[in-house]
């Protein structure tokens, strides 16, 4: 049909009733799942773990998409918080029932079948972190006694890739020449080049040099060796 013919026909009452307005058609303006574009998260980050725990306790089969929708957070925030809470809960259950097979533990917790493998693997990482916690706390205390840290804070523990344990201790810039020290369960201690982001993205092992130096003495050297590292 020629454009001029359409101009004539489009005003016909029979056609007007059947027309679909452009505004009603799906496109860029159509609603999409997840957090609205250009909006901030509705729940502060420090409150997300507690809120996710409440949701998981109420519904063990809850999905990350539902968490995202309920809390109004980015899907990555919701997914990470849900995975960590599920792993913590699973680790608690395994510690309380050490002879219970993972599949039965997951069933008792009400987890969906598709989440059992990931939750089991993540729970094993959480348990390794709990096992390492007394050692890391001891190193943190030794660094504080030596004056390398302002406060005797607990190490910041992360789980890069969901399959390993990495921890960081930020040091006092006025007292020590390196920004931070990092412990990786695979490589032991190293110095870091950044106070803000001492743990590299994805937990990648940085090469030695330009402010990065690996300590000798194995994966868990005595706290005194870690204390001496920033100045030797």
Does this model's pTM top 0.75? My answer is no
- Residues 16-23 have a mean pLDDT of 46
Residue 39 pLDDT > 70: no
| pLDDT in the model for residue 121 | 87
Higher pLDDT, 204 or 125: 125
HEC sequence for 144-201 = HHCCCCCCCCCCEEECHHHCCCEEEEECCCCCCCCCEEEEECCCEEEEECCCCCCCCH
Higher pLDDT, 51 or 232: 51
Instruction: Name the DSSP letter for residue 214.
Output: B
Which residue's entry shows tokens 């109004």? 72
| pLDDT in the model for residue 3 | 54
Locate 164 and state its tokens.
């390993």
Q: Per-residue confidence at 49, pLDDT binned at 50, 70, 90?
A: confident
Locate 141 and state its tokens.
């205390």
- Residues 76-100 have a mean pLDDT of 88
Locate 189 and state its tokens.
């201690």
pLDDT tens digit sequence for 209-229: 878 888 877 899 999 888 886
> Which residues are registered as beta bridge partners of 209?
212
| pLDDT in the model for residue 189 | 93
Please tell me the least confidently modeled range out of 21-35, 47-61, 121-135: 21-35
Instruction: Name the DSSP letter for residue 23.
Output: G
pLDDT tens digit sequence for 123-182: 899 999 999 999 999 999 999 998 888 877 788 898 887 789 999 999 887 777 788 899
> Which residues are registered as beta bridge partners of 204?
none
CA distance 173 to 176: 6
Q: List phi, psi (to 5°) of 34.
A: 90, -165
CA dist list (Å): 40 to 36, 76, 141, 180, 223: 9, 14, 37, 31, 42
pLDDT tens digit sequence for 176-199: 778 889 999 999 999 888 888 888
> 41-55 b/e with 16+ CB inside 10 Å = b?
eebeeeebeebbbeb
Q: Are 221 and 188 in contact (CB under 8 A)?
A: yes
CA distance 149 to 144: 5
Q: Per-residue confidence at 21, pLDDT binned at 50, 70, 90?
A: very low
In the chain, how long is the greatest CA-to-CA distance?
A: 89
| pLDDT in the model for residue 232 | 61
């Amino acid at each position: 049909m020629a454009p001029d013919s359409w101009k004539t026909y489009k005003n016909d009452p029979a056609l007007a009733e059947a027309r679909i307005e452009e505004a009603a058609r799906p496109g860029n303006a159509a609603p999409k799942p997840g957090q609205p574009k250009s909006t901030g998260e509705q729940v502060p980050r420090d409150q997300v773990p507690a809120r996710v725990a409440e949701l998981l306790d109420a519904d063990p089969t809850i999905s990350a998409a539902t968490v995202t929708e309920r809390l109004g957070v980015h899907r990555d925030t919701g997914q990470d918080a849900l995975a960590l809470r599920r792993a913590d809960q699973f680790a608690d259950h395994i510690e309380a029932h050490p002879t219970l097979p993972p599949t039965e533990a997951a069933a008792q917790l009400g987890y969906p079948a598709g989440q059992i493998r990931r939750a089991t693997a993540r729970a094993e990482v959480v348990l390794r972190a709990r096992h390492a916690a007394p050692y890391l706390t001891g190193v943190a205390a030794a660094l504080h006694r030596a004056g390398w840290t302002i406060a005797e804070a607990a190490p910041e523990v992360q789980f890069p890739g969901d399959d390993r344990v990495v921890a960081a201790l930020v040091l006092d810039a006025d007292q020590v020449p390196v920004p931070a020290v990092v412990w990786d369960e695979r490589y032991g201690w190293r110095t870091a080049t950044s106070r803000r982001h001492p743990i590299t993205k994805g937990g990648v092992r940085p090469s030695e040099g330009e402010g990065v130096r690996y300590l000798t003495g194995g994966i868990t050297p005595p706290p005194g060796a870690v204390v001496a590292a920033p100045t030797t």
